[in-house]
Structure 1
Amino acid sequence: MVCLSVAILTKQGKILLARQFVEMTRMKVENHLATFPKLIGTERQHNTVETAEVRYVYQPIESLILVLVTNKHSNIVEDLETLRLFAKMVPEHCPGEVDEAAVCKNAFELLFAFDEIIACGCGYRENVSMREVQVALEMESHEEKLAKMIRQSKEREAQQEMVRKAKQISRENRSKGIGGSGGIGSMRDFADDLRSGAAQSFEVKGDLQLLVTDAAHGKALVPLALGANPGYQFKTHPNINKPAFQTDSILGLRDPTRPFPLGSAVGVLKWRMVSTDESIVPLMINCWPTQTGGNAWEVNVEYELGAAYVGKLELRNLTVTIPAPVEAVPQISPSNGTASFSKRDAAITWHVPIIDATSTSGTVEFALSGLSSADALFPINCSFTGVATLCELGITEVRSAEAGGGPLPFKYEPSLSVESYVIS
């Protein structure tokens, strides 16, 4: 079976989602899917139709239609089995009613699930069950569960400590003849202290994409230079030779006679790590607000490159966004980079173009009024990029998988970006 595309359409023929598994132009995909509604009858519930070029295998799902586009030489029994697996995955990732809004909202989750069923670049069905697809998407690990348990335990301990400290200060105030309003303030002060650097959750996700641009170099082996990487979980694509990766850290196809797809990037390796250990966070952001009287505050925000990354990691385009009242006129003094206040966004934006061994830390200070409490300064959002990976992974050579195994020309382009970095 070669599956060219899978799509979800409305019964009027509107394309909500389409995923191609072989190289096809957008016009060709749209032409195939535009032809499909004209071929099916209104009373048919589950069937196949064909044109001179392709076969459509389809099934209604509530108010929508799930359709596979395959070549005409594919095995119809395998096509129907694959269709049933796709049909099970759609409601699994669109809880509630499966309609146009639900599909659009969960489009990326559906695409990820589809990619686990059909191999990108060749269109062949993977030998996976629904449970195996779910496990692959979750990438669940014992280390992650343990990290979550540790994080939840720390959160409970912090809450208990907040209550204990508030009660203690309240008792001390009563013994001094002071009113009991200090307890709430103490809890807030303690909560603010927790904002000064403790990492509540830290997650790293990554993948290695392989792109072949020369058909003569499609049969390739990629040896990886892997570090210790404690806490990282690795998962190879189903078509990759897993024993070779586990024993020798080499990425290659299970069938060495097959080439990698030409002109289409293929995800060959994924990795994930979850931790609460702040020593492995590449960049720490701390906020220190001080009330100077009334609604006036002086605030110091600082960044610090993780000690483990000094001299090894260079970060670029750091942007820190701090909420501020619209009516505020803050006086801002950055130690490096630039900072500005936007009334339209009601935020102070601090931008640092580069962070490396020569600028491992920096601060921005500002004074403003109109804050009822330090809570108004949160959440603080942060983003940055880099040209490296936090996972210790490198590529120093690429070899031919054919007899002789000579070296092949290659280019390795690591990158780092932030999906979500929030101080709340």
Structure 2
Amino acid sequence: MVLIGAAIITKTGKPLLARVFISDMTKARLEGLLDAFPKLIASEKSQRQHTFIETDSVRYVFHPLDNVHVVLITTKASNILEDLETLRLFSRVIPEYCRSNDEKEIQANLFDLIFAFDEIVALGYRENVNLAQIRTFTEMDSHEERVFNQIKIAQERAANELMTQKAMELKKLKAEQRKSGRTLGSSATAISSSSVPLTAIIDDTPMRSAVKQAPATTRESSKALKLGSKNTDDDHFVKQLRREGQVVETSLRVSDTADAGDRTASEIGSSTISRAPVHIKIEEKLSASVSRDGGLESGEVLGSASLLINGPQFATVCVQISNNDKHGAQLQVHPNLDKKEWLQKSLLKLKSVQKPFPVNMDVGVLKWRLILNNEEMLPISINCWPNENPDGCVVNIEYTLQTENMTLNSVVIIIPLPPATVPVISECEGTYEYVRSRSQLVWNLPVVDESNKIGSLEFSTSNGQANHFFPITVRFTSADLFCSMAVESVQKMDIGETIQYSTESHLITEKFEIV
């Protein structure tokens, strides 16, 4: 299917919007095609029960929408069934962005419609998107900006609270000094030696400066500035983001230990794994698309193993791998490694010591690809049943752990909702959150294993159709891999000396959707 352009034309023949999707279509040529369309509709030849018209060079596929026509111009060789399906999506976009189908309303939302059209078609070919995805893409909501703004508000709120608290302390101190007949100056030394410097109390410094001075306080102070206090609304927001599976690194975190205030944000966000002189990282990424009616549409697992060497004396090591893969994954070793040694012994060994591993840099040594043939190969399955009724929709969602020897952590199931609809939860295993800005219901499960391999969520909405609740996105992590790879030993190539090593392995979801 090659889609030349799309247009919205009044029934009198006036073009309100036109968008070309191929580069070799000139403006004059497009105007000629649009001018010919009303004449073709009015001709006797076109008086038939069809919504397409063919000329010698192009095909018009159109849909009447009140006082306008939504028109697609395609090549004659394109698939008419795909054309009609694309036309239906174009027709649904207009009521999504316009309150009515009249000329003024469409002209007031032209750019929104153009952006939406561009999400449907790219370079003349239909994109695999639905209406909910188009709305998400065109909103261009910045998750990072919202996080930054929430953190900034928390900083300002905490600084205000500190200033108010210290002002009250200073006022109380002055009152006590007046009672005892002393002046403020006689106790200036005592004040300045408190847990917060005197300048932080009496100087009219900006809010940002007060925040920067906070780390200078001593650890013994019980009234130090706690920007990441757990009882603030912003920290609740950051926790919510983490439950959604987002990684949020911020310098506002406060640990339960006394030494947490001295650590930087990068140290707090760093991995807790203790790394040896040779560190091997094994990672798999799962991508899958599952039909809502059952059946795997596409699925694959991409795996990789990388080495991190922290000294030149370890740059010529060889790694013995235990390959217990039972799925028949396609494996490839790095060109600088001896492929014969890998095939015979599962040994990752350099071809030549003259080309050692780079130091202090992750270098990939092995990668594999596993094609998933059926839905049963997925670790978890999601079953969604939206039931439409006159009062709205009742939605039942059930998960089932299919691979019982796997433990899934931080499982997040994201269900799209109809716009401006608040769900009413009647049953939930785990926790849930309603994200109003994205019209999403987020179902969180900390761990899914044999002890809770089946769980369900039931909620209702006041409006909506079954299509509003798809695609469902699933995210999780796991220490268990599809292709069981493990490190048996690490040795130096020349002398065979055993080297201390550390490993980490995990499975993450790249894109897992029920469509």
Using structure 2 for the length normalisation, give the TM-score: 0.42
User: Is 1:267 matched up with 2:364?
Assistant: yes
Cα displacement (A) at 1:334: 4.6
Task: Identify the residue that residue 415 of structure 1 maps to in structure 2.
Answer: 506
Equivalent-residue separation in structure 2 for 1:333 and 1:416 (angstroms): 32
Whether the 8 Å contact between 2:325 and 2:483 is mirrored in structure 1 is: no
Q: Deviations over 1:42-69 (max 9, x none)?
A: xxxxxxxxxxxxxxxxxxxxxxxxxxxx
Q: Specify the alignment match of 2:404 in structure 1.
A: 310
- Answering whether residue 459 of structure 2 is matched by residue 362 of structure 1, we say no
Taking the aligned partners of 1:363 and 1:214, their CA distance within structure 2 comes to 51
Structure 1: 5+ residue stretches without partners: 1-94, 96-150, 156-193
Match for residue 401 of structure 1?
A: 493
Closer/same/farther in 2, CA of residues 230 and 303 from structure 1, 3 Å limit: same
Q: CA deviation at 1:409?
A: 0.4
How far, CA to CA, are the matches of 1:248 and 1:333 in structure 2? 56
Quick one: distance in 2 between partners of 1:342 and 1:248?
A: 52
- Which residue of 2 is the match for residue 348 of structure 1? 441
Give me the whole-angstrom Cα distance separating, in 2, the residues matched to 1:357 and 1:236. 35
TM-score when normalising by structure 1: 0.51
1:188-224 residue CA offsets vs partner (Å, 9 max, x unmatched): xxxxxx6243211111001101011132222211111
Letter aligned with residue 360 of structure 1: K
> In structure 2, how many angstroms separate the alpha carbons of the residues matched to 1:221 and 1:407?
10
Distance in 2 separating the partners of 1:379 and 1:365: 17
The reply on whether 1:298 has 2:389 as its aligned counterpart is no
SS at match of 2:468: helix
Return the alpha-carbon distance in structure 1 between the equivalents of residues 491 and 354 of structure 2: 14
**Are 1:196 and 1:288, in contact at CA under 8 Å, matched by a contact in 2?**
no
The alignment covers a number of residue pairs equal to: 228
Q: Contact 1:210/1:266 (CA < 8 Å) preserved in 2?
A: yes
| Partner in structure 1 of residue 165 of structure 2 | none
SS of 1:230 mapped into structure 2:
coil
The amino acid that maps onto 2:504 is: E
Q: Distance in 1 between matches of 2:445 and 2:317?
A: 40
Q: Percent identity?
A: 31
Deviation at 1:257, TM superposition (A): 5.3
Residues 241-279 of structure 1 deviation map (CA, whole Å, 9 limit, x = unaligned): 101011111101111454321111100011001123122
In 2: Cα distance, 1:374 partner to 1:415 partner? 35
Determine if contact 1:323/1:347 at 8 Å carries over to the other structure.
yes
What is the CA-CA distance between 1:329 and the residue it aligns to? 2.6
Cα distance 1:207–1:243, how it changes in 2: closer, same or farther (>3 A)?
Answer: same
Return the alpha-carbon distance in structure 2 between the equivalents of residues 295 and 378 of structure 1.
20
Q: 2:345 aligns with which of 242, 248, 252?
A: 248
Measure the CA separation in 1 of the matches of 2:450 and 2:493: 40
Q: Give the C-alpha shift of residue 336 in structure 1.
A: 2.2
1:208 corresponding residue in structure 2: 305
C-alpha separation between the residues in 2 aligned to 1:295 and 1:334?
19
Given the alignment, which residue of 307, 322, 326 partners 1:229? 326
Question: How far apart in 1 are the matches of 2:494 and 2:376?
Answer: 44
Residue identity opposite 2:312 in structure 1: A
Equivalent in the alignment of 1:374: 466
Shift of 1:236: 0.8
Matches within 5 A, 1:16-415: 195-256=292-353, 258-291=355-388, 293-306=389-402, 309-311=403-405, 313-371=406-464, 373-403=465-495, 405-415=496-506
Paired amino acid for 1:397 = S
Shift of 1:380: 0.9
Deviation of 1:359 after TM superposition, in Å, equals 1.8
SS at match of 1:358: helix
Q: CA RMSD in A?
A: 2.1
What stretches of structure 2 of length at least 5 have no aligned partner? 1-122, 124-288
| Contact map agreement 1:200 1:276 (CA 8 A) in 2 | no
Q: Distance in 1 between matches of 2:386 and 2:322?
A: 44
Q: Answer yes or no: is the 8 Å Cα contact 2:327–2:483 preserved in 1.
A: no
Distance 2:358 2:437 in 1: 48
> Does the Cα contact within 8 Å between 2:325 and 2:485 map onto a contact in 1?
no
Q: Which amino acid aligns with 1:368?
A: T
Letter in 1 for 2:461: L
In 2: Cα distance, 1:258 partner to 1:324 partner: 55
Structure 2 counterpart of 1:248, which letter? K
**1:299, distance to aligned residue in structure 2 (A):** 0.9
Aligned partner of residue 276 in structure 1, secondary structure: coil
Inter-partner Cα distance in structure 2 for 1:301 and 1:240: 48
- Tell me how far 1:397 sits from its aligned partner: 1.5
Instruction: State the SS of the aligned residue for 2:501.
Output: coil
3-state SS of the aligned residue for 1:418? strand
